[in-house]
Structure 1
Amino acid sequence: MSFDPADPVFLDDPYPAFAELRRRGPVHWHDGLGLPVAVSHEACAAVLRSRDAGRIWRDKEPAAAFPAFNLLHRNSLLESEPPRHTRLRRLVAAAFNRGHTARLQPRVRAVAGRMADGLAAAIAADGAADLLTHLAGPLPVEVIAELLGVPAEDRPRLQPWSNAIVKMYEYGLPPEGAAAAETAAAEFVAYLRELTALRAREPGDDLISDLVAVRDGGDRLSDDELVGTAVLLLMAGHEATVNVIGNGVLALLRHRDQWDRLVAAPAELLPTAVEELIRYDAPLQLFERTAVVSTTVAGYELEPGQKIAALLGAAARDPDVFADPDRLDIGRSPNPHLGFGAGIHYCVGAPLARAEISAALEALVTRLPGLRLAEEPPRRPEFVIRGLRTLHVTTERR
């Protein structure tokens, strides 16, 4: 038993295939992906936490065709290991922890409310509207842009750049997709070099200014490291959050009892609902590690340079960890999902992501309590980053 990551039937609902793999064992070789995949929660956690298997960046080849894409990843916190990772995370965390999440929370709630009102107006005008277009897509971009201090007139450029770059993480990407990713990366790098130079001259209360200024003794981020950090925050913050909101609202509307629970008690249930939506339909399905020494990870023997992947979507439905794992339960607690990673690569932006998802849900259940699906939504044809093409919704007539 395996799975075809390009099969539309599998992409629509991969969880039965994952359940069968878990029943057969914690780790399996996958011919199509060309690497072993861990499928149990215990095995996936072992992959993510192993210090013998790390994030070892190898340039996209031919390297001469992808200079900007490779520059971003060579200098990314996510694609580095100690001691460089330790240094980068210390500097990035020092800048990120200067109150940015607390500073942005009122703004996040206000923007989410405004966007939910815009969605309501679009539904009133046309009978139905796309929740991804009106809320799930633009909200995280607006928040990351505010975090980084991107001027309002430049913000429409961010989402297309992110969408193009992350396509490179899928398996079997056609050449035109790879070329588009490189073009987007080059444009984003050039833009951020200009913005960081401006913030060095004219600092503000944004994260770019703090990244420019942060010091640890005589150490500081290089220009390339700063650019790589900013792009990582956009791509990770945007792609994960938009898909948690999209996948999550779809799950809630398909499980009306859970939507109604949240409508009835948002203050009580929002914190656990956010965690459950991250778990229930994971926005990031697979995450790779590379062995740095001869080792055994999750019972699987690896030689240096060999890869292994944690199948996060499978870990999230493991019955050994989650009672009745295929059931959506917005009050589920505890909820030890792996959606933000584990170990030294645990997501530095997790608090901000939680704030965005919570604000989006709060705006929807308080402003649009009668929200309904207008049609069954089409899925994007990608496996690693799991999301929807559109999510058309309407409201019940009063």
Structure 2
Amino acid sequence: MSPAPSAAPPSRLDHEARLYLAAHPLAYPLVRLLARLGPVVRVPGLGVVVNDAAVARAVLNDERFRKDGPGSPADLWTPVLGPSVLLNMEGPDHLALRRKLMPLFTPAYVSGLVADVLREPLKALDARLARGETVDLVDAMRVMAGAVICRTIGLGEVPEERARELFAEGERVVSMVSLRSRRLSDRQVAIARRVLDRIGDIAQAAYEAGDESTVMGRMRVQGLSAAEARGAAGAFFLTGTETVATFVPRLVALVCDHGTTVDGPDRLDRVIDEAMRVTTPTPVMLRSVAEPALVGEVAVRPGDRVLIATHNCARAHGPFDPSRPHPPELRHLWFGAGPHFCIGYPLALAEIRAVASTVLSHRVRVVRRRAARGVLIPTYEHLWITAS
């Protein structure tokens, strides 16, 4: 599997920066500037910013830094999702809910789910590329990511337009958040609740049907309550769909721009990991300080806000180069670490592998591209590719 060798000019290396600047024209330059000020820096009005992967991992593994205090993700998502989802929980309750959910995301189960949902869409995508058609990979990924989340929350098989609609609804909610956001406005909360109530209703109906072939039905078997199932469906909808849909086009663009050869599943996995490092699916993570502690050499006190600049931590490792191994402190840091490591990682990886292996089995090249604006996760609005 390999793209056509790239003959792009040196500016090809700037495409990722252009995506970030299109999404966050003010915040991104500030975040990158902070990377030059040291591994940990206190910024008035912003918080304590972490630019070092080892320090970031230590914070994420330390129970004194929480997701449910002031300045944490709870400020954003509790008004929308309620107090009992993995995004805003800590302690024994968080651990208990996580243990209930983990059997739903084993690599074997999610690989089978993805293979079933994407069998026909991938066959169609493969045929289009084989015929030499120009394909907008962004639109294709929205359809496929939407189809997977539809199956996950209990909708079953849906037409392309319904998958697009569902993706657009999730994108609308996520795009209310910027790198500077501390909380949503009352109007934004109302909009988000309307979207997620519809998702919750779908999920609860599947939960009550108890069909063990569905994720919601399996949640009931695993002992989750209807409320927990609704909350989980909303969290997966918000965090999983856009992450995968935005990443795959960026992955393919990086491979094409750098003339990277992808020959076999092991090489593909290395390329995926390296592309995740460069693109950083979660560019920033937030924690609230619960007890006095040190972040690197900076003293923090209860109520302080810690902003982990995951993108700075990751980009410190250098430019895109799949042949260079990641140091231990950097491993999958963009999916978190410790008790909050992303529970949906196996599902995301299964989707990414399935689509990337299909696309990169052709000698693809990028025909045109356009950066998206007004989004939280930097991405392409369109990425047109073709195979030679």
**Same fold by TM-score greater than 0.5:** yes
Counterpart in the other structure of 1:24: 37
CA distance in 1, matches of 2:90, 2:64: 11
The CA deviation at 1:290 is 0.6
Q: Which has the higher contact order (CA 8 A, sep 6+)?
A: 2
What are the superposed Cα offsets for residues 270-305 of structure 1, whole Å, 9 maximum, x if unpaired?
111111111111122101001112222233222222
CA distance in 2, matches of 1:240, 1:224: 25
Cα pair distance change 1:354/1:13, threshold 3 Å: farther
1:359 alignment partner in structure 2: 354
- 1:380 partner amino acid: R
Query: 2:216 pairs with 208, 218, 227, which one?
Result: 208
Kept after mapping to 1: 8 A contact 2:19/2:379: no
From 147, 157, 160, the equivalent of 2:168 is: 160
In the alignment of these two chains, the number of paired residues is 363
Give TM-score, length-normalised by structure 1.
0.79
Q: 1:375 aligns with which of 364, 368, 374?
A: 368
- 1:151 maps to a residue whose letter is G
Q: Secondary structure at the match of 2:354?
A: helix
Amino acid at match of 1:318: A
Pick the aligned partner of 1:43 from 55, 75, 95: 55
> Could you tell me how far 1:148 is from its partner in structure 2?
3.0
Q: Cα offset for 1:76?
A: 1.3
Contact 1:100/1:207 (CA < 8 Å) preserved in 2?
no
TM-aligned CA deviation for residue 209 of structure 1: 0.5
Change (3 A) 1:7 1:188: closer
Could you say what secondary structure the match of 1:50 adopts? coil
Match for residue 192 of structure 1 among 182, 187, 200: 200
Q: Which residue of 2 aligns with 1:243?
A: 246
How many Å apart are 1:116 and its aligned residue? Answer: 2.2
SS in 2 for 1:389: strand
Structure 1 pair 130–24 and aligned structure 2 pair: CA distance change class (3 A)? same
Structure 2 gap segments, 5+ residues each? 1-17
Q: 1:252 to 1:11 in 2, by over 3 A?
A: farther
Do the aligned residues in 1 keep the contact of 2:155 with 2:202 (CA within 8 Å)?
no
- Percent of aligned positions with the same letter in both sequences? 21
Deviations 1:160-204 (A, max 9, x none): 22112212331467x999735632432332442354234323524
Residue 113 in 1 paired to residue 106 in 2?
Answer: no
CA offsets, 1:233-277, max 9 Å, x none?
122211211222122122112112x1xx11xx1334111111111
Match of 2:381 in 1: 389
Aligned partners of 2:82 and 2:231 also within 8 Å: yes
Change (3 A) 1:82 1:176: closer
Query: Does the C-alpha gap of structure 1 residues 119 and 234 become closer, same or farther in structure 2, counting only changes over 3 Å?
Result: farther
> Quick one: which amino acid aligns to residue 114 of structure 1?
K
Alpha carbons 1:164, 1:181 under 8 Å: kept = no
The equivalent residue for 1:290 is 288
Letter in 2 for 1:286: V
For 1:288 and 1:94, the matched residues in 2 are separated by 27
One-letter identity of the residue aligned with 2:276: I
Q: Who is 2:144 aligned against?
A: 139
Per-residue deviation, 1:53: 0.6
Hey, what's the Cα distance between the residues in 2 that align with 1:45 and 1:26?
13
Give the SS at the match of 2:370: coil
- Paired position in structure 2 for 1:341: 336
Which secondary structure does the structure 2 equivalent of 1:333 belong to? coil
Give the Cα separation in 2 of the matches to 1:71 and 1:19.
Answer: 30
2:53 counterpart letter in structure 1: H
- Deviation, 1:311, is 0.8
Distance 1:164 1:37, change over 3 A: same
The answer to whether structure 1 residue 230 and structure 2 residue 229 are counterparts is no
Contact 1:39–1:311 (CA<8 Å) still a contact in 2? yes
Which amino acid counterpart does residue 172 of structure 2 have in structure 1? A
Partner Cα distance (2:26, 2:191) in 1: 33
Contact 1:141–1:234 (8 Å) recurs in 2: no
- Measure, in 2, the Cα distance between the counterparts of 1:253 and 1:387: 16
Matches within 5 A, 1:125-136: 128-134=134-140, 136=141
Partner of 2:15: none
Counterpart of 1:196 in 2: which secondary structure? helix
| Structure 1 residue 229, shift from structure 2 partner | 0.7
Corresponding residue for 2:96? 87
The alignment's TM-score, normalised by the length of structure 2, stands at 0.81
Amino acid aligned to 1:266? G
2:66 matched residue in structure 1: 54
In the TM superposition, what whole-angstrom CA distance separates every residue of 1:345-371 from its partner, at most 9, and x where no partner exists? 0011111211111111111111x31x2
Deviation, structure 1 residue 341: 0.7
Where 1:375 maps in the other structure, the secondary structure is: strand
Alignment partner of 2:286: what SS?
strand
Mean Cα deviation higher: 115-124 or 331-340 = 115-124
1:182 aligned residue: 190
For structure 1, the residue ranges without an aligned partner over 5 or more in a row are 216-220, 320-324
